[in-house]
Structures are given as C-alpha cells and as structure tokens.
Amino acid sequence: MAVYLHEEDLPEGVLAPGPVAVDTETMGLITPRDRLCLVQISDGKGDEHLVRFAAGSTFDAPNLKAVLADPSREKLYHFARFDLAAIEHYLGVVAAPVFCTKIASKLVRTYTDRHGLKDLVRELLGKEISKQQQSSDWGASELNEAQREYAASDVRYLHAMRDILAVRLQREGRTDLAQACFDFLPARARLDLEGWPEHDIFSHMSA
C-alpha cells in the first residue's frame, strides 16, 4: 500500500478498471470562493493517488477528468454532494455515476445519528482513522506527511464500506431508494452551485 502525490494531473494508466473512490480537499466550504486544492482517488487495490492543484491552477487535468467523467466507472464518495460540486465547478466534469456511503448509512443505520466517515470506518471495518488534519491548510505549497495520510485515508476504505452498505440496503429493501438518491446527487450539487444550498425546493413553504 502506497500514497502517491501528483501535481496538476493523474498519470495515465495508474488505476485498474472498475469503481474508484474519490474525495476532495478545498480551502473551505464555500465552493465558488474556496478553491479546490486536492483530489484523492483510489481503485481499491491498495494504493491512493493524490492530485494537487496549486494556487492559480488552470485545472487542465485531462487524465483525471477522463476517469471522473467516465460513465462506466462508479464513483464512491462519503458526502458526494460536496465533492461533486467542487469537481464540477473547478474541473468542469460531472463525476458520476455515484455511490455515497453517507447517504447509504443514513438509509440503513437508522439506529444511530453518527454517520461521519470515522464512525463508519470504526463500526463497519473495525479500523480507526484520524481526522486531525481536517481543517489544515490544503493550499500550502507543500503537504506534510500527516496531511497526505489524512487525505489518503478518506478514500482508502470506501470500496469495502460500499460492499457492506450495499448488502444492508438490499436486506432492508432500500436499494432502489438509495439509487434514486445517488442519481439525483449531481443535480443537488448543481443546485448548491446555482444558489440554493439551504433551500428545499420540494417544500410547500414559499421560503
């Protein structure tokens, strides 16, 4: 298992065919303001690839974009809504089809309100991950080892968790409901980008 850091694009041919786990790190939570700094991606075979974008980047990353936009590759996320918005805004591609472990967790782990990545990894896989670097400066000119490990851990376990959660969704008869939610996520991310981040447009309320 190794963590590879790349500048501005993913090298060609480093990922095996099939689903890829994806995550992003940005300068903050307001997508148009807080630039994309890092995209993490893994094919689930043991290595994680980190693609770093410098300040002033043109985000011209043809290899990475080709993988993210490939409709034959399922993309695994934890809280896909945020990552989809960041990827579309900065890289200009819709990184679907989607499986979101956070949504799947909320649909089947109704016995708890703890749906964070750390909680899921602990319960489903019996492993511990550190979230200490969550609020660090991802726009720095150099990423330290702790940041690299944190970023890699965000995609390291998504394949295994997807497999477990898919079984639970089927067991509870919620696979179709989950898929409908996953299919809507690119549109939900676009609503965030277009100015409806906190408004439920399906609500009867006029606000």
Residue 205 lies in a domain: no
Any bridge partners for residue 20, and if so which? Answer: 75
Supply the range of the domain harboring residue 173. Answer: 3-194
CB 38 within 8 A of CB 24: yes
Residue 207 belongs to some domain of the structure = no
pLDDT recorded at residue 204? 87
How far is Cα 140 from Cα 174, in angstroms, rounded to an integer? 42
* Band of residue 205 on the pLDDT scale cut at 50, 70, 90: confident
Q: How confident is the model at residue 1 (pLDDT cuts 50, 70, 90)?
A: confident
Assign 24 to helix, strand or coil. strand
For residue 97, tell me if it sits in a domain. yes
Closest CA to 48 of 6, 85, 94: 6
Query: Is the pLDDT confidence value at 166 over 70?
Result: yes
Q: What is the pLDDT of residues 98-141, one digit of tens each?
A: 999 999 999 999 999 999 999 999 999 999 997 776 678 999 99
206 assigned to some structural domain: no
The per-residue pLDDT for 127 is 96
Q: What is the CATH number of the domain that holds 180?
A: 3.30.420.10
Q: Within a domain: residue 28?
A: yes
Question: pTM for the full model?
Answer: 0.95
- The size of the chain, in residues, is 207
d(CA 102, CA 74): 16
Distance, CA of 123 to CA of 166 (rounded, Å) = 15
The domain tally of the chain equals 1
